[in-house]
């Protein structure tokens, strides 16, 4: 299909849908300008139609993670409503889990991996642009989530029954998920700082007449 920029503006939604059947070429000043293609077509063009085997151990962990998050969806939403906040992004939850699995302390290094590592990108999922578009926002969001008691507790619950040992035998993940412990310890220190000191017991003093 070939069309000009004016038609592109008018029919963008329909054209995006058409690109799933065939590539759409957009011309400008009578010359080819850009192509609109489906994601699968683009990956085939790059020679990466199936970059990650479905039986890769990280993909098995992804299935476990998604099942556990789905099972807890109602509780996650309830907790968010109680705090008048939006529920945590599933994409960012998977990203935090990935950080813990590979023991990557540097969020900047994790961000770089998500930009270039197809295995990591497939684990995080379709909304990859949410985590790759801006490194500073990415770092700030991750830091805020690791300071959230409910998020850390959720990750602990999700990974508690995950097949980590089996996956570790075939990949580079850390079954101990050391970073989860680091985040938990940091929350404990924060809690001690904000907790009021224990009340001091006052022993009443009785004075007898004449004293």
CA distances 12 to 5, 22, 139, Å, are 10, 15, 33
Tokens linked to 25: 């070429």
Mean pLDDT per 10-residue interval, the chain, length 211 residues: 59 68 73 71 56 75 92 89 86 93 93 88 76 85 92 94 85 87 89 64 54 49
Question: What pLDDT shows up at residue 33?
Answer: 73
Assess contact for 92 and 165: CB atoms under 8 A. no
Q: Does residue 105 lie in a domain region?
A: yes
Same domain, 92 and 164: yes
Q: Does residue 197 lie in a domain region?
A: no
Question: What pLDDT shows up at residue 169?
Answer: 82
Q: Does residue 70 lie in a domain region?
A: yes
- Model-level pTM? 0.67
Tally of domains within the chain? 2
Question: What pLDDT shows up at residue 203?
Answer: 56
Partner residues linked to 3 by β-bridges: 26
Domain that holds residue 17: 2-45
Question: What pLDDT shows up at residue 165?
Answer: 86
CATH of the domain at 23: 3.40.1620
Question: What pLDDT shows up at residue 103?
Answer: 93
Same domain, 41 and 84: no
Paired sense of beta strands 2-4 and 24-28, if any: parallel
Q: Does residue 211 lie in a domain region?
A: no
């Amino acid at each position: 299909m070939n069309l000009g920029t004016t038609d592109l503006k008018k029919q963008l939604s329909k054209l995006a849908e058409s690109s799933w059947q065939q590539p759409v070429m957009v011309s400008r000043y009578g010359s080819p300008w850009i192509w609109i293609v489906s994601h699968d077509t683009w990956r085939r063009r790059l020679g990466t139609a199936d970059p990650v085997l479905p039986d890769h151990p990280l993909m098995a962990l992804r299935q476990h993670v998604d099942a556990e998050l789905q099972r807890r969806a109602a509780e996650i939403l309830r907790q968010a409503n109680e705090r008048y906040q939006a529920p945590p992004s599933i994409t960012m939850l998977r990203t935090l889990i990935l950080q813990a699995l590979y023991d990557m302390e540097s969020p900047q290094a994790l961000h770089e991996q998500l930009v270039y590592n197809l295995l990591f990108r497939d684990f995080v999922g379709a909304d990859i642009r949410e985590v790759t578009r801006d490194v500073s926002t990415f770092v700030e969001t991750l830091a805020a989530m690791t300071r959230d008691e409910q998020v850390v507790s959720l990750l602990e619950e999700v990974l508690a029954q995950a097949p980590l040992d089996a996956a570790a035998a075939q990949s580079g993940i850390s079954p101990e998920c050391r970073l989860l412990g680091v985040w938990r310890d940091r929350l404990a220190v924060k809690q001690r700082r904000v907790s009021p000191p224990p009340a001091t017991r006052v022993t009443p003093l009785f004075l007898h007449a004449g004293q």
